[in-house]
Copies of this chain bind each other. A is one copy, B any other.
Amino acid sequence: MGERDRPTAPGGPSGGDSTSTADELTTAAVGGDRRALARLLTAVENRTPLAEAAMRRLYPQAGRAHIVGITGPPGAGKSTLVAALIGEVRKVGRAVAVVAVDPSSPITGGALLGDRVRMQAYAADRDVFIRSMAARGHAGGLASTTGAATAVLDAAGFDLILVETVGTGQSEVEVAAAADTTVVLEAPEMGDEVQAIKAGLLEVADLVVVNKGDKPGAQRTASQLRAMLVAAPRVGSAGTDRPRPKQPEVLITTAATGDGVPELLAALDRHRLATTGDGGDGARRARLARAEAQVWAIVSDRLRDRLHDKRLAEAAAGTLDAVAEHRLDPYAAADDLLGLLIDAAGERPSERRG
């Protein structure tokens, strides 16, 4: 266990219930119960009190898995490559989990994509665990939810965790970039707009993979990418503040046939080795970025909860209303809300001392 031992979720309305359920579920999930694991991930996705209680137990046991982000434009073949990687990883007996971050529906939750159906080939293999996640609630939730999900899977003993992001938006790229190793997938002959998105994606890549290697132009695309990568400045990503000391390798795969997939797995392992221990500045920063995204999302949730407290809700709603009607500017409103939060905190017995 970690530095702290806080068995209950303080102040949570159903803290007691969550705690006993969390005890059972975390023990079961760490012991290999996949249903318990699935329930925990649902709690993480929905940010319930159970998620907090479970994370307080599981988080200190995590930190061993290799977390690999896989991103790229729609149509590059991410799901097919993920399926091929699963097959390759299973040949050597490693347990692998996939978190598919799916922005397809902000409302109804992630829909299963057609490609993902192929992964059901592994439905009977208990060392393969695949989960689609949709981030709900306010912006910033995506990084925090994904970080929590990987921590739960890590604690449950998965050695390799693939975080596949379907969207090409900023948040989705940040999620992938907060992995220990970030793979950016491309395909030959993509359109103009996709090319433009590519430039941004490349900045977060540790490895670049040209998929659909059997299509004409794959070699040429790989050469172009290598030229772009030499020309591009290797600065840290704004989202993750990672330095990129090395040019990323460019590999070619044909996920549909499996060509190049063993080489990709070997490259992932090399990157993992190169970034652990003393030389692991990049991976350390990625871990800090994941930690910060999670902690900050919780701070944010806590503050929002306080603004919805009976005593503050009316004043807070009035302030936001005034901004919506342009009677008050957002900076003055922010100062008002901060004042409300701090006054309210001062008026009640402190939770952290004692």
**Is the pair B295, A337 in contact by a Cβ cutoff of 8 Å?**
yes
Instruction: Please tell me if A323 contacts chain B, counting CB pairs below 8 Å.
Output: yes
Contact with B along A185-204 (1 / 0, CB 8 A): 00000011110110110011
Interface of A is mostly: helix
Report if A262 contacts B (CB, 8 A): no
Residues of B within 8 A of A194 (CB): 74-75
Known: A203-B107, A238-B137, A337-B295. A9 touches B331 (CB 8 A): yes
Contacting pair B237 A107 (CB below 8 A)? yes
Best-buried of A61, A193, A237 by chain B (most CB within 10 Å)? A193
Contact of A142 (CB < 8 Å), options: B139, B143, B148, B236: B139
- Quick one: copies of this chain in the complex? 2
Q: Are B352 and A336 in contact (CB under 8 A)?
A: yes
A351 close to chain B: CB less than 8 A? yes
A270 contacts B by Cβ under 8 Å: no
The 4 closest A-B pairs by CB, nearest first: A169-B169, A298-B334, A167-B169, A63-B326
Tell me the chain A residues, 58-96 only, with Cβ under 8 Å from chain B. 59-63, 73-75
Please report the C-alpha to C-alpha distance between residue A169 and residue B173 in the assembled complex, in whole angstroms: 9
Are B329 and A55 neighbours in the complex by a CB distance under 8 Å?
Answer: yes
A279 interfacial by beta-carbon distance below 8 Å:
no
Do A342 and B339 form a contact, CB below 8 Å, given A103-B169, A167-B167, A334-B295?
Answer: no
Assess whether A196 is in contact with B111, with CB atoms less than 8 Å apart: yes
Q: Determine whether A256 belongs to the interface, using a CB cutoff of 8 Å to chain B.
A: no
A-B CB contact pairs (8 Å), 6 listed: A2-B328, A106-B170, A137-B238, A171-B171, A291-B323, A342-B346
Residue of B nearest to A203 (CB): B107
In the complex, the answer to whether A300 meets B298 with C-beta atoms within 8 Å is no
Query: Are A335 and B323 touching (Cβ within 8 A)?
Result: no
A193-B113, A338-B299, A352-B339 given as contacts; is B105 within 8 A of A329 (CB)?
Answer: no
A138 to chain B, nearest CB (A): 7
- A200–B167 Cα distance when bound, in Å, is 11
- A170–B167 CB distance below 8 A: yes
A265 at the B interface (CB under 8 A):
no
CB within 8 Å of B: which of A336-354? Answer: 336-339, 342, 345-346, 350-352
With a cutoff of 8 Å between Cβ atoms, the chain B residues found around residue A260 in the complex are none
B residues less than 8 Å from A290 (CB atoms): 324
